[in-house]
Structure 1
Amino acid sequence: MSPTARVSRDVPDHLPDVLAAGAVVIHRDAVLLVHRPRYDDWSFPKGKLDRGELAPVAAVREVGEETGVRVRLGAPLSSQRYPNGSRMKTVFYWHGRVVGDPGVEDYVVNEEIDEVAWVPLSKARKRLSHTFDHDTLEEALSTEWRTRSLIVVRHSHARTRKSWRKDDRLRPLLAEGHRQAARLVPLLHAYAPTRLVSSSSVRCVQTLTPYAESCGWPLQRTDALSEEDATVESVVEVVDELLDGKESAVLCTHRPVLPAVLDALGVDTEKLAPGELVVVHHRKGKVTAFERY
């Protein structure tokens, strides 16, 4: 998540924050804004997290619901934190990139959102109603937003080595591992990788299969990321190819191989548990930000 948050003013913190998520969507020198009649204000599309929902998933869902525009997330922005009645509200933001048609003409207005507009960047600051939104827009414009994502996944929970007497490459996921793999799907869709690369081992392939089936993109299997065959050189070659490519990508590998992958990316983070992932945002081969889920 973004490491910093802006607070407009202080209120007691005895209650948990209301959590919300949204995106600053920039397309062809314009930013996507919505008008809320209840507050008579212009702001970025955003909304509350559903129970158990991760913030990136909520951000993409809310942009789609409030504007009709499908987006994928780029690098995270600083979160906002401000009073919301007797509680505080925290809103997580990302850069948003349009996927498909950017048109908003067919959006059906409602009581919550009665106008959606692509506002020229030169006029957006004047249109936005809140100072903290001005700050978020300035951050979005001053940071790299034309990034791609490389998502690094540790395979989900698999059968133990002691319980498996066949070739370890064939060791499958447990039922919980399959559930984890299914839960990965909406999170991966939030970043919309179109290049899918997995260790050739069954447990890694099974981890990415639900996403592959849901998006329709082919799943590439490679020994270069397998626990038995991976070398530092083979890992670097795979990572460099994905960084140099023109697509956002996801790769799945094993705990012993992950340090080589993260070292190749220059990312320093704690060990990933089964089913956890790191989203690395990059531009022209240079890492600009990363998140962990």
Structure 2
Amino acid sequence: MGQPPDVVSAGAVVFRPGRQVLLVHRGRYDDWSFPKGKLDRGEHRTAAAVRELEEETGLRVRLGVPLGDQRYPVKDRMKTVHYWTGRVVGDDDVSRYALNDEIDGVAWVDVADARERLSYDYDRGTLDEALDRRRRTLPLVVLRHAKARARRTWRSADPLRPLLAAGREQADRLGPVLAAYDVRRVVSSDSIRCAETVAPYVRASGARLRLTDGLSEEAATEASVGRSVDRLLARMDAHGAGGLLCTHRPVLPRVFERLGVDDPALDPGEMLVVHLRKGTVRSTERHLVP
């Protein structure tokens, strides 16, 4: 018989000014570690990291750059933990958190003391990596629209071509992933398949939406794409929050060229998260919402 699949969890190493890092104490194991937890069935790992962190600390967090995975044995199986750096969105006071049987301690700990308090060597290694990547970044999510009707089956104007039922389901599942990056500004092609892709998240989050033909297959030019990217980046910097740009496969190479990153040839419903600091790309990560 083959090895059973890994137990999969996700979490974040969260920093705040003053070189402090967020740790939790688990009474059952009498250990100090980073907030993390198992993925729910069908849950994306980014969404799980943010959900678990809020459940274990009471804080809402925006994910930053990704960190290396941890993998270690637990009983008769292996466990994989996906980690990111993180920043609190809003109040970072943990004193009001209702301690419970699972988490009986939540604390902001000076980085100098965190290595001693952490219970496991693999967490100390993750802390060292996170310290090298702790500087604040802003995430720009570049998204290819979800699965749409095939061109050959569509008899009307192409900008009116809608999502398939599977594409609408993809669009619904995008919400928790985009929320994990605190996306508050959305710029999208005005073609129906792009507008339908971002609509569920915009409705649920209240993010500001701008539709433009400058990102459509029919009207996009190098200049119009550049303006859309630059304007979105400026809004992100002004408001200190994440952004989303949604467009089509033929337009994406111009977007990535403007950002100075290689074109990853995204599939429908797939995204590249570009983490920027002062206009410079610090890291990228790729996620597909099936």
- For the 8 Å contact 2:85–2:133, the answer to whether it is kept is no
Matching residue's letter, 2:12: A
* Mapped partners of 2:261, 2:4: distance in 1: 34
Matches within 5 A, 1:51-66: 51-66=41-56
Q: Which amino acid aligns with 2:54?
A: G
Out of 108, 115, 138, the position equivalent to 2:98 is 108
Query: How far apart in 1 are the matches of 2:263 and 2:76?
Result: 36
Aligned to 2:180: 190
Q: 1:209 to 1:280 in 2, by over 3 A?
A: same
1:74–1:145: 8 Å Cα contact kept in structure 2?
A: no
SS in 1 for 2:99: coil
Provide the rounded CA distance (Å) in 1 between the counterparts of 2:263 and 2:135: 23
Q: Size of the alignment, in residue pairs?
A: 281
Q: Give the drift of 1:33.
A: 0.6
Q: Comparing 198-207 with 118-127, which one deviates more in the overlay?
A: 118-127
Task: Look up the match of 1:5.
Answer: none
Residue 232 of structure 1 deviates from its aligned partner by 1.8
Work out whether 1:225 is the aligned partner of 2:219.
no
Q: Could you tell me whether the CA contact under 8 Å between 2:62 and 2:181 is conserved in 1?
A: yes
The farther-off stretch of 167-176 and 43-52 is: 167-176
Counterpart among 181, 194, 202 of residue 212 in structure 1: 202
Deviates more, 1:35-44 or 1:162-171: 162-171
Is 1:151 aligned to residue 141 of structure 2?
Answer: yes
Does the CA-based 8 Å contact 2:145-2:246 persist in structure 1?
yes
Task: Give the secondary-structure state (helix, strand or coil) at the position aligned to 1:140.
Answer: helix
Query: Can you list the C-alpha shifts for 1:72-97, whole angstroms capped at 9, x where unaligned?
Result: 10110111111111221111100111
Aligned residue in 1 for 2:254: 260
| Aligned-residue offset at 1:282 | 0.8
1:249 aligned partner: 243
Q: Which runs of 5+ in 2 are unaligned?
A: none
2:267 aligns with 273
Cα contact 1:31–1:121 (8 A) shared by 2 = yes
| SS in structure 1 of the partner of residue 262 of structure 2 | coil
State how 1:59-138 maps to structure 2 within 5 Å. Answer: 59-138=49-128
2:16 pairs, out of 27, 30, 33, with 27
TM-score normalised by length of structure 1: 0.92
Structure 1 runs (4+) deviating above 4 angstroms are: none
CA distance in 1, matches of 2:282, 2:69: 17
How many angstroms does 1:195 deviate by? 0.9
Taking only aligned residues, the RMSD between alpha carbons, in angstroms, comes to 1.5
Letter matched to residue 223 of structure 2 = E
d(CA) in 1 for partners of 2:155 and 2:146?
20
Q: How does 1:3-18 map to 2 (within 5 A)?
A: 14-18=3-7
Structure 1 residue corresponding to 2:282, chosen from 268, 277, 288 = 288
Distance 2:33 2:263 in 1: 34
Query: Residue 229 of structure 2 aligns with which residue?
Result: 239
Deviation at 1:144, TM superposition (A): 4.3
AA aligned to 1:249 is: G
Give the superposition deviation at 1:269. Answer: 4.8
Structure 1's unaligned 5+ residue stretches are 1-12
1:170-224 Cα distance to aligned partner (Å, 9 max, x none)? 2221221111100101111111111110001111011001000011122101111
> Given the two structures, how large is their TM-score scaled by the length of structure 2?
0.93
> Aligned to 1:163, which of 133, 141, 153?
153
8 Å Cα contact 1:24-1:31 kept in structure 2: yes
- Asked if 2 retains the 8 angstrom alpha-carbon contact of 1:149 and 1:281, the reply is yes
CA distance in 1, matches of 2:114, 2:249: 46
